[in-house]
Structure 1
Amino acid sequence: MKIRTVIVDDEPHALEIIRRYATHIPELEIIGACSNALEAFQMIQNTRVDLIFLDIKMPRLLGTDLVRSLKSPPLIIFTTAYQEYAIEGFDLNAIDYLLKPVPLKRFLQAIDKVRHFLSADFKTTQSIETPADASTPPVAHYLYIRVERRLLKINTSDILWIESIKDYIKVVTADKSFQTKQKISVTEKLLPLGEFMRIHRSFIIPVNRVEGYNPNHIVISGTQIPIGRNYKQICAQQFNPDTGFLYRPQPE
């Protein structure tokens, strides 16, 4: 799979370094190189972009402001000489943050994170479109979130529920919970289809973890999670509304 990539930097030398590094990665397809964020904005509106190497401190429009202006930004790797922008970059859910001059080793590490992210998403799509062989073990799917300035990899099979708290989400597993600044609507798109469902504007749950149900809440690991008014019908279709308990089809 080709990763359609744009490089954005107002320093020609820094732009050329990233372009040269990219020649070592066959799946990186450099579809554009921009000297400012406004030029990059126009390119993103007119073509599909999977990944941006983005400088932050540029004239007219900062790289961070470019990301904020995009409704559905592609994957972002910030490249900058200013370490003080790191926290802001991570708050925008960047895949990585590279300090100039960028060493080849750090570049390759950042690309490895991109591969993991896209590979998980691709495998999920394949598992939906291709009938599963009973002899083939299920493919693991991972959710990547930014926690304390690092990218955390969570196996989605470990998730009990995801809760939205204002501009943050809390991902709850059996052992611990993790909080990150991210919209629940964005998180919902990163989860494997058919395995998770939204039952409330503030809650996403894995269907196979549900232990009990009634029209007002479901139970996971002994915890009651509310069902939102706008989600009651879809929950009624998923679960048995007559008995008040989860309907689990018996294996043939």
Structure 2
Amino acid sequence: MLKCLIIDDEPIAQNIIRGYLDDTPGLVLFGVCDNAIEALEVLENNDVDIIFLDIEMPKLSGLSFLKTLEKIPETIITTAYREFAVEGFELSVADYLLKPYSFERFLKAINKVKKKIEAEHRLGKGSGMVEQPYTYFKSGRKNVKVKYDEIVMIEGLSNYVKIHLKEDKILVVYERLSQLQKILPYHKFARIHKSYIISLEKINNYGIDSVEIGGKELSIGKSYKERFLSKIKKLNP
């Protein structure tokens, strides 16, 4: 069963998704959050497979909320605002549902997510499976095998990234940083800025506002600071 979390401040929208979940095999409602702040606490302490996320909410918008997450569940945006679609897909959301949407359209989004999760399980990334010490990145026409402990940091540049490896090697991959964030082991890497993911094992030193790694000093973005420092403290209690 896939655990689902609804994040929406509209009771009517919540109830529609509840009903659709009840009618869809293989899905279970884990919880409902009225705002993104409440959802942050839930995701910090629980594993959720799919989130249904509204965009316009009090305190913190849905898209701003996604940018703060270190480990992003499969996300289906549910909104009445078409203009946020491009930004949503840039954050690698699974699908974008415009309110009001039909049960048929809901199922199409769910099937897309299920296929993606099943593919990840076959690659050994699913829950209960042994984590592989490496992954493959598509660079040009080749799929290049890279061990996680070889990665120093990953730099996001528009529609592609530079993966900085040991011995000053660089691998260029035409993928978004947010998508690679889903692939990397959560306990080994941290996103510290909209443009950087770093290996926690390769940090030379860090402060409140910056990290030194691979001979470079990188700024820690405001929206990533609290989560990064919390992760560091857990590694060094």
TM-score past 0.5 threshold: yes
Q: Report the secondary structure of 1:42's partner residue.
A: helix
Q: How far has the Cα of 1:32 moved from its partner?
A: 0.2
Compute the TM-score of the two structures, normalised by the length of structure 1: 0.55
- Residues 90 and 176 in structure 2, CA contact (< 8 A), matched pair in contact too: yes
Unaligned runs of 5+ in 2: 131-135, 146-153, 162-172, 186-213, 215-237
Q: Of residues 131, 138, 160 in structure 2, which corresponds to 1:169?
A: 160
Q: 1:17-28 to 2 correspondence within 5 Å?
A: 17-28=16-27
Alignment-derived partner of residue 186 in structure 1: 181
C-alpha deviation, 1:183, in angstroms: 5.3
Query: CA separation in 2, counterparts of 1:187 and 1:73?
Result: 6
**Structure 1 residue 115, shift from structure 2 partner:** 0.7
| Contact map agreement 2:156 2:177 (CA 8 A) in 1 | no
RMSD over aligned CA atoms reads 3.8
Give 1:102 shift: 1.5
- 1:63 aligned partner, one-letter code: G
**Where does 1:197-212 land on structure 2 (aligned, <5 Å)?**
none
Separation in 2, partners of 1:3, 1:97: 19
Instruction: State the distance in 2 between where 1:126 and 1:35 align.
Output: 30
Which amino acid in 1 is paired with 2:89? F
Q: Any conservation in 1 of the 2:156–2:176 contact (CA below 8 Å)?
A: no
Q: Cα distance 1:183–1:5, how it changes in 2: closer, same or farther (>3 A)? A: closer
CA distance in 2, matches of 1:184, 1:121: 13
CA separation in 2, counterparts of 1:51 and 1:126? 16
Moved over 6 A (4+): none
Q: What's the TM-score, normalizing by structure 2?
A: 0.59
1:93 aligns with 2:88: no
Report the secondary structure of 2:51's partner residue: strand
Structure-2 separation of matches of 1:10 and 1:53: 12
Describe the SS at the equivalent of 2:110.
helix
- After TM superposition, give the deviation of residue 10 of structure 1 in Å: 0.8
Task: Measure how far apart 1:188 and its partner are.
Answer: 5.1
Deviation at 1:65, TM superposition (A): 1.0
Correspondence 1:62-81 to 2 at 5 A: 62-81=61-80
Larger Rg: 1
SS of equivalent residue, structure 2 residue 123:
helix
Task: Measure the CA separation in 2 of the matches of 1:38 and 1:126.
Answer: 28
Equivalent position SS for 1:166: strand
User: Residues 6, 188 of structure 1: CA spacing in aligned structure 2 closer, same or farther, 3 A cutoff?
Assistant: closer
Mapped to 1, the partners of 2:6 and 2:14 lie a distance apart of 7
Q: What CA distance in whole angstroms lies between the structure 2 residues aligned with 1:183 and 1:98?
A: 20
Amino acid at match of 2:113: V
Distance in 2 of aligned mates of 1:184 and 1:91: 9
Q: Distance in 2 between matches of 1:19 and 1:30?
A: 7
TM-aligned CA deviation for residue 160 of structure 1: 3.8
Q: Does the CA contact (< 8 Å) of 2:74 and 2:93 recur in 1?
A: yes
CA displacement, residues 169-223 of structure 1 (integer Å, 9 cap, x when unaligned): 37xxxxxxx9442358537549xxxxxxxxxxxxxxxxxxxxxxxxxxxxxxxxx
Deviation at 1:161, TM superposition (A): 4.4
- Pairs within 5 Å for 1:1-252: 2-125=1-124, 159-161=142-144, 166-167=156-157, 168-169=159-160, 179-182=174-177, 185-186=180-181, 189=184
Structure 1 gap ranges (5+): 131-141, 144-153, 171-177, 191-228, 230-252
